[in-house]
């Protein structure tokens, strides 16, 4: 989780990546921060930031969309 970041550093909140291994198998990976942990961290470290709850909602939305992509991708990878 984000505790302190140098200026101009980007914190990864969500990622969805597809890989192809040397055997031709597709490996799809999704990672995201926990929205509740994000809220706590933002409130403790950046209390003046006004977009904390919208940011957490965005992460929840991306996780939902990512879950759907993972589920639907199985028709192409199996």
Q: What are the sequence ranges of the domains in the chain?
A: 33-78
Distance CA 74, CA 39 (A): 33
Distance CA 18, CA 60 (A): 20
Q: What is the pLDDT of residues 10-61, one digit of tens each?
A: 999 999 999 999 999 999 999 999 999 999 999 999 999 999 999 999 999 9
Report pLDDT for 58. 98
CA dihedral 63, 65, 70, 72 (to 10 degrees): 160
Inform me whether the pLDDT recorded for 6 exceeds 80. no
**pTM for this prediction:** 0.82
pLDDT band at 73 (very low <50, low <70, confident <90, very high): very high
């Amino acid at each position: 989780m984000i505790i302190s970041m140098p200026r101009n550093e980007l914190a990864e909140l969500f990622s969805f990546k597809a890989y192809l291994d040397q055997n031709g198998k597709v490996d799809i990976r999704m990672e995201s921060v926990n929205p509740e942990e994000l809220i706590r961290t933002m409130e403790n470290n950046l209390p003046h930031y006004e977009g904390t709850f919208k940011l957490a909602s965005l992460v929840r939305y991306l996780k939902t969309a990512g879950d759907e992509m993972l589920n639907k991708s199985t028709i192409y990878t199996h």
